Amino acid sequence: MQAKQDNRRRAYWLKTLHEWHWISAALCLLGMILFSVTGITLNHASQIEAKPAITSKNASLPKPMADALRAQAEAAGKSDNKDAKTAPLPAPLQEWFKREWSVDTGGREAEWSDEEVYVSLPRPGGDAWLRINVQDGEAEYELTDRGWISYFNDLHKGRHTGAAWSWFIDIFAVAALLFSITGLFILKMHAGNRPLTWPVVGLGVIAPFLLAILFIH
């Protein structure tokens, strides 16, 4: 009777572990592929050539916008308030850049001075910036695109990816932990019929540890 109860309990836990294992595997499948491939490209970054493509644009702001920008820049220059020196571009100006150049500043903070307004626009796989001369209203934009490999490498590192991708990385990490932990328990429950289970697990634990101790200085 006790043996039957033990078998039922074991079957229940094994079924539960398998369910959590496949669910976590499904959730982190794409992330596992992405982070594995980009792990290789990052490890060989010096051997993968990247030819940045640079796009530059120049234009003069409409006079009303240039005058309003000059007044705001002069006020920021005289102000002791740090928020005034790092305020976003005015909404009409943001809309103008989006319409004319397809550049979305997204309410990002700008650096204000008496001479210029500068907006840094970093992004995965590249960089960009926008600069406006306060005195004459001349605007300059430059976009550097380092290619798809650099883009995915930055996704791997979470570089300039925003809050949504940061949440994805956290959820993926939790799913990967569940996948690994449930896999370990499944191994434990099958270890009696698989003699190589613990030697292989031990090798997977000890090998990175030894490499770090012996070859990383």
Which distant-in-sequence residues (6+ apart) come within 8 Å of 60 by Cβ? 66, 136, 137, 138, 139
Residue 38: pLDDT over 90: yes
Residue 2: pLDDT over 80: no
pLDDT the model gives residue 1: 64
| 3-state helix vs strand vs coil in the chain, percent to 5 | 65, 15, 20
CA gyration radius for the chain?
Answer: 27
pLDDT the model gives residue 147: 93
3-state secondary structure of 192: helix
**Does residue 84 or residue 163 have the better pLDDT?**
163
Q: How many CB atoms lie within 10 A of CB 68?
A: 15
Residue 217 and residue 215: Cα distance in Å, rounded? 6
Tens digit of each residue's pLDDT (9 = 90 or more) over 10-34:
788 888 989 999 999 998 999 999 9
Distances (CA, A) of 90 to 86, 95, 106, 141: 12, 9, 11, 17
> CA nearest 92: which of 75, 67, 112, 115?
67
Tens digit of each residue's pLDDT (9 = 90 or more) over 55-83:
999 999 999 999 999 988 888 777 777 76
> CA nearest 108: which of 118, 197, 116, 100?
118
Q: Is there a contact between 38 and 155 (Cβ–Cβ < 8 Å)?
A: yes
pLDDT the model gives residue 51: 85
Tens digit of each residue's pLDDT (9 = 90 or more) over 170-194:
999 999 999 999 999 998 888 888 8
Tens digit of each residue's pLDDT (9 = 90 or more) over 110-152:
999 888 999 999 999 999 999 999 999 999 999 999 999 999 9
